Amino acid sequence: MKNIKFIIMLSLPFFAFSQEMNELNERGKRMQARKIAFVSNSLEISPKQSESFWPIYNVYSSELKSIYLKKKKVRRNYMLNKQSMNDVDLGLVIDSLFNLDKEYLDLKIKYVKQFSNIISNKQMFELYIIEENFKKDLLRKIKKGGRKPSDPPFPPPNI
């Protein structure tokens, strides 16, 4: 009986961690769905454009997220080890961040070329503004507090 209690006590943190990860994944999925709805409602694209646009946009978004996570990892590593880093180490951190910034810009350029085959330059520019408005509205809503996870983001301001 003691062994069973011991095993249960040892396994509880794993279950809690697993549940927390599931909640984070769900929150990420809800956030992505809100962003898609926000972009869809704001960007006026035809159904034909939509068929080609969304698969490319989803890949673009996931690649941007990948770069963001890499930058976050570099920053976290710096924060954990900054006391023991020398100038050479700090130079490597700066190089890593610059390389990730370059990767980010290269990715943007790559997808502008792909999007230009689907949507107009005006729509592309509006997409950039819409994405920025989504971030601002999301930050404003988080700052304001009291939001429910199911709440949609604020409607975009008129462009």
| pTM of structure | 0.69
Cα separation, 32 vs 26, whole angstroms: 10
Per-residue pLDDT of the chain (159 residues; tens, 9 = 90+): 565 555 555 555 655 555 666 666 788 788 888 888 888 888 888 888 889 999 999 999 999 999 999 999 999 999 999 899 999 999 999 999 999 999 999 999 999 999 999 999 999 999 999 999 998 988 888 888 855 555 555 555 444
Residue 97 burial (C-beta neighbours within 10 Å; 0-12, 13-18, 19+): middle
Q: Is residue 139 within 8 Å of 132, Cβ to Cβ? A: no
Rounded to the nearest 10 degrees, the angle between the axes of helix 2-42 and helix 47-81 is: 130
Cα separation, 54 vs 111, whole angstroms: 12
For the chain, what are the domain ranges? 2-144
Residue whose tokens read 């050479």: 88
Q: State residue 18's pLDDT score.
A: 57
